[in-house]
Amino acid sequence: MTDVTMPSYEDIEVGATAPERRQMLTRTDLVKYAGASGDFNPMHHDEILAKAAGMPSVFGHGMFSMGLLCTALTDWAGPGHVVQVGVRFSKQTWPGETLVTRIVVTGKRTEGGRRLVEVECRLANAEGETKVVGTATVQAA
């Protein structure tokens, strides 16, 4: 967890960012996610089968990437404050890569008495290759 939380609705500005999270992906991470999610597609944990299918190694679950991104989002906005989150899975993630979250405020609006902040969320590797990108709406204090 980080200690930096989302500013109030009045103070938040377009371009503000949530603290970045960096995570080096390991095979153990993928085994843990398989167990926690019930997704036992062998491409995510069985190196022998993954290589036989032409992959350089096992690769990460898309939903694990989305999960990491949402951890960065709730660290900042607070659990229970996420109204909507939607992402597109663009590239596979590979063990050994460092995955970096980037969450940037793109707008704010009120709707039905709720004060909402729009963000763009992106997970990329350290070289800048985008893995997952999307948008989220969070409720401000």
Partner 1 sequence: MPVDRSVVGKSTGHTRVVIERGPVAVFADAVKDANPIYRDPAAAAAAGLPAIPVPPTYPFVMGHWGTFPELQPDGGDEAASGMGEILGPLLARGGLLLHGEQEFEYHRPVVVGDVLVGEGRVADVYEKQSATNTLTFVVLETSWYDDVTGELVVTSRTNLLVRT
Decide: 46 and 102 in contact? Cβ < 8 Å: no
Q: Which amino acid is at 80?
A: G
- Closer to partner 1 by Cβ: residue 13 or 131: 131
- Closer to partner 1 by Cβ: residue 12 or 43: 43
Element (H, E) at 105: strand 98-111
Q: Is 54 exposed, middle or buried (0-12, 13-18, 19+ CB in 10 A)?
A: exposed
| Distance set, CA 139 to CA 26, 86, 128 (Å) | 33, 15, 29
Q: Which residues of the shown chain bind partner 1 in the complex (CB under 8 A)?
A: 1, 21, 23, 29, 32-33, 35-39, 62-64, 66-68, 70-71, 73-75, 78-80, 82-89, 134
Q: Considering the complex, what minimum distance in angstroms separates the CB of residue 22 from partner 1?
A: 11
Q: Considering the complex, what minimum distance in angstroms separates the CB of residue 8 from partner 1?
A: 16
Q: Considering the complex, what minimum distance in angstroms separates the CB of residue 130 from partner 1?
A: 14
Q: Considering the complex, what minimum distance in angstroms separates the CB of residue 39 from partner 1?
A: 8
